[in-house]
Amino acid sequence: MTSRAVHFLAAAAPLMLLLSACGGSVGGAGGGGSEDAGFAFGAAQEEVDAAVADLDPVTLTIQPYAASPDAAAAVAEKSFMEAVEERSGGKISFDVAWGQSIAGYPEVDDALADGRLDIAYTVPVYFVAEYPRLDAYNKLSQYVPAGPLTGEAAIQAQMSEAGWNDPALLEEYSSKGLVPLNPLVTSGNYWTACGSEGTALSDWSGRQIRIGGSVQTPISQSLGASPVSMEYGEAFEALQRSTVDCIFVQGMVAGSTGLLEAAPQVSTLGEERFTGAVTAGHVAGSSFASLPLAYQQIIFDAAGIDWMHGVTSAILGSSADAVADVRAAGGEFTEMDPEAAEAILTTQQEIADQLVADGTVEEDVREGLVESGVRWSERVLELGYEDGGDLAALDEWYEADGVDFRPLTEEAFRAGALAHRPE
């Protein structure tokens, strides 16, 4: 087991515990944010300096996805924190709770609401009853091609725009006393990973496959496999012991955990995308409203641009680690057998049709995602982003510090988040 897997298992242990650790104080922050002087989006640094000149410093407690600051996935929060600290002239600083060390995912909403956390990465798709609108977007996340870099960049922009322009989705956060900073976030395209070879429809029959969300139950069944729900922290040992045969896994998770050491036979849908990618949110808690307006604006701007750049980078960097794990374990990346792929794609279409038929989402939501999938995919190419090779060689052609996604994330910010900027 790699150190990444060990760190992950250690971090996953608190997921089912009710922790009582304290944190999240907003030291010295004045109330009445809307009564304070703010600044316009894109303002010169001198204007921001003037807006924060008389404000007291604050320290915010933030809980990232990454298990440690050394993980490839840590670039998301690092990019965000660096941007906030620089824009605020050092007046906003952070206490970082790596590895869900304050609250496991079942408790993140409560920890944000009661002040133990100020900002956190959360996974609402685990809680379908509480986030039905987000779950619907999760099931409609197949309308962007699966390019290893271009596809991940395009779907982040697509879902950022869609989330900010859907009042019903935003209400799922605000009704719980939460402040969405990035309401719809993907952790990367899903892959299937198994301990043994074989992607024909007959190979899937009878396999036990760990699922990551409700949409993967009918997808598993369309293959003749049996879906199994378990925490990621249990999945590594389950794969090692063959109590499950396969797993649906996203690149950021696979690279952060070392899971593919135990399941190195990876299959994809080629240029098509598995649905189910929109799993997460980046959220502030009850303390956000007590911050001065200028601080709220600094945080909001950095979340929409720098954090979104960072999370896209994190997906690519972690996926590259996962590709290296597969190669080291003697596995390979293959495309799903055509008959099996067709079963999956047909099921995904039926799921989307049913969402519209039962009124969970409106037809114009689906049509909008189809249109924006094309539009953002084209815009990614226009901005000069490109795939330097295929997924199986990602670790050989992707340079972790070599791609700046901020030109794209700023465009997505303007298309959605800007209208919700604190003022």
Percent of the chain with pLDDT over 70: 92
The pLDDT score that the predictor gives to residue 23 is 34
Rounded CA separation 56/17 (Å): 35
Is it true that 9-186+278-329+357-384+401-420 and 192-273+331-350 share their CATH fold? yes
pLDDT exceeds cutoff 70 at 33: no
Q: Say yes or no: domain 192-273+331-350 is CATH 3.40.190.10.
A: yes
Asked if the model's pLDDT at residue 34 lies above 70, the reply is: no
What is the structure's pLDDT at 6? Answer: 37
Confidence of residue 230 (pLDDT cuts 50, 70, 90): confident
Average pLDDT over residues 396-407: 95
Residues 147 and 154: their CA atoms lie apart, in Å, by: 9
Residue 29, pLDDT > 50, answer: no
Give the tens place of pLDDT for each residue, 283-310: 999 999 999 999 999 999 999 999 999 9
Q: What is the pLDDT of residue 213?
A: 85
- The closest of 247, 307, 313, 268 to 145, measured between CA atoms, is 268
- Three state DSSP letters for the chain: CCHHHHHHHHHHHHHHCCCCCCCCCCCCCCCCHHHCCCCCCCCCHHHHHHHHCCCCCEEEEEECCCCCCCCHHHHHHHHHHHHHHHHCCCCEEEEECHHHCCCCHHHHHHHHHHCCCCEEEECHHHCCCCCHHHHHHHCCCCCCCCCCCHHHHHHHHHHHHHHHCCHHHHHHHHCCCCEEEEEEEECCCEEEEECCCCCCHHHHCCCEEEECCCCHHHHHHHCCCEEEECCHHHHHHHHHCCCCCEEEEEHHHHHHHCHHHCCCEEEECCCCCCCCCEEEEEEECHHHHHCCHHHHHHHHHHHHHHHHHHHHHHHHHHHHHHHHHHHHCCCEEEECCHHHHHHHHHHHHHHHHHHHHCCCCCHHHHHHHHHHHHHHHHHHHHCCCCCCCCHHHHHHHCCCCCCCCHHHHHHHHHHCHHHHCCC
Rounded CA separation 232/100 (Å): 13
Q: What is the pLDDT of residues 79-88, one digit of tens each?
A: 999 999 999 9
Q: Are 308 and 409 in contact (CB under 8 A)?
A: yes
Average pLDDT over residues 404-412: 98
d(CA 409, CA 336): 32
11 pLDDT above the threshold of 60 = no
Q: Please provide the average confidence, as pLDDT, over all residues in the chain.
A: 91
- What the block records as the tokens of 104 is 């496991």
- pLDDT band for position 4 (cuts 50, 70, 90): very low
In the predicted structure, residue 387 carries a pLDDT above the cut 50: yes
- Are the C-beta atoms of residues 253 and 187 closer than 8 Å to each other? yes
User: In a 10 Å sphere around its CB, with 0-12 CB exposed, 13-18 middle and 19+ buried, how is residue 109 labelled?
Assistant: buried
pLDDT confidence of 401, banded at 50, 70, 90?
confident
Q: Is the pLDDT of residue 62 over 50?
A: yes
Residues in the chain: 423
The matching CATH number, chosen from 3.40.190.170, 3.10.20.600, 2.40.50.140, 3.40.50.970, for 9-186+278-329+357-384+401-420 is 3.40.190.170
pLDDT at position 400: 86
pLDDT band at 232 (very low <50, low <70, confident <90, very high): confident
CB of 304 closer than 8 Å to CB of 181: yes
Contacts of 170 by beta carbon, 8 Å cutoff, 6+ apart: 163, 164, 180, 183, 420
Please report the pLDDT score of residue 316 as a whole number.
Answer: 97
Q: Can you give the residue ranges of every domain in the chain? A: 9-186+278-329+357-384+401-420, 192-273+331-350
Mean pLDDT of 154-175: 98
- Residue 176, CA distances (Å) to 25, 43, 181, 283, 365 in order: 19, 32, 14, 11, 24
Give me the mean pLDDT over the 41-61 stretch. 98
Q: Is the pLDDT of residue 9 over 50?
A: no
Which pLDDT band holds residue 234 (cuts at 50, 70, 90)? Answer: confident
The percent of residues above 90 in pLDDT, for the chain, comes to 86
Question: Residue 346: pLDDT above 80?
Answer: yes
